[in-house]
Amino acid sequence: MSADDESTTFMDRVAHDDGDAAEQKPASAYGLYLGWGAALLLAVILAVVAVWQVNERVYTPEAAAEHYWEALNQGAGREALGFLSSAPEFDQVTVDHVLLDGDALQRSAELVEGAQIGGDEDMAEVSFIVGSENYRTPLPTVLAGTTWGFFDDWRVAPSAITWFEVEVPGAPQGGIGQVQVNGAPVNLDEETARLSAFVPSAVELSVDSQWLVGSAEHVVVHPPQDQDSAERVTLDLEASEAAVELLHTEIQEFFDGCSEEQVLMPAGCPVGVTTNHQVNASTIDWQFPDPEDVTLSFDAEGWQISYESLIAEVSYEARHYHTGEQLTETEQVPFDLDVRVGASGEDLIITVAGRDAAPAEPAGW
């Protein structure tokens, strides 16, 4: 083969190789683009799955309820309010907000034990214990929008703040103007207080004055549909030990005054006897019942005095009006008391008097 032939063959081979390379180049680029497209599609799918999982696990009604409860558990009422979709409105109702923040809210959190948050795609639920009782209450949530256009923004519904009414029967008659709510004072309107509260809340109500005491407990659950109506909690008052002691002291002083009069008809006293015998006045001795037989109570009408029966006993020595025989006489005399109890400022005023009673039949008749 000549040099020209070899040269021609070589050039033909080179030209052929260049043609193959030109044909393979578009095919390689297409494969590269296809790979990048598949990778991008997979990334998008993974991102969508990730968003979905985050939405399902993080941005849920249950998660919103957990954040809300964590704030309540720390006594951070202002922070808890931030997890609500909006502030509630109580139409035509004036309420005290002492339970929504501070020590009163912290006390509520201390009383609520074993709180557990559950729920589904639309509603959260709180189960908890107060004292020895188990409670369960729904916690409504609402979808307020989205964050970054991807994640659901769940908020606690405004009905998570409700209100209830405390009634203290007879408070004005007893001079009571405040009630303690989880240790914080709240003024009464006559005998009523209205209190707003988070759901759930545990509330200790008490009155601990010098003369009247009372307590009640309330657990706030199940916010009502009608925010203009509310549960009513009654706190009944009763006489304090100091008031009862003062009553018995006043009665004892009244009895002592009657006993000091060594006569058969002591002046200003609800007892008396007559006799035809000649009485030795120095021997006259009146004995009255135990003042503790008289009880003091309090209700919606005010202070109440009660007792079953009161009987005094008088004994004396006398000379028989006919025979001159020496006698020792003992008689029992039923009687009634007129006891008035009332408050004057911070003082308890008690007056004791006797009700008119017919004298006993003369001895010896």
- Higher-confidence residue of 26 and 197: namely 197
Neighbours of 4 (CB within 10 A): 8
- Partners of 124 in the beta sheet? 119, 139
71: left (phi over 0), alpha (psi -120 to 50) or beta: alpha
Query: Using 50, 70 and 90 to split pLDDT, how confident is the model at 222?
Result: confident
Question: What mean pLDDT value characterizes the chain?
Answer: 83
Q: What is the pLDDT of residues 296-316, one digit of tens each?
A: 999 999 999 999 999 999 999
What distance in Å separates the CA atoms of residue 182 and residue 345, rounded to the nearest whole number?
25
Query: Using 50, 70 and 90 to split pLDDT, how confident is the model at 37?
Result: low
Is 21 within 8 Å of 82 (Cβ atoms)? no
pTM for the full predicted model: 0.75
Q: Indicate the residue type of 50.
A: A
Task: Specify the pLDDT at position 118.
Answer: 85
* Cα of 155 vs its chain's centroid, Å: 26
Edge-to-edge order in the sheet of strand 310-319: 278-287, 310-319, 326-335
Is 205 within 8 Å of 216 (Cβ atoms)? yes
pLDDT for 80 beyond 90: yes
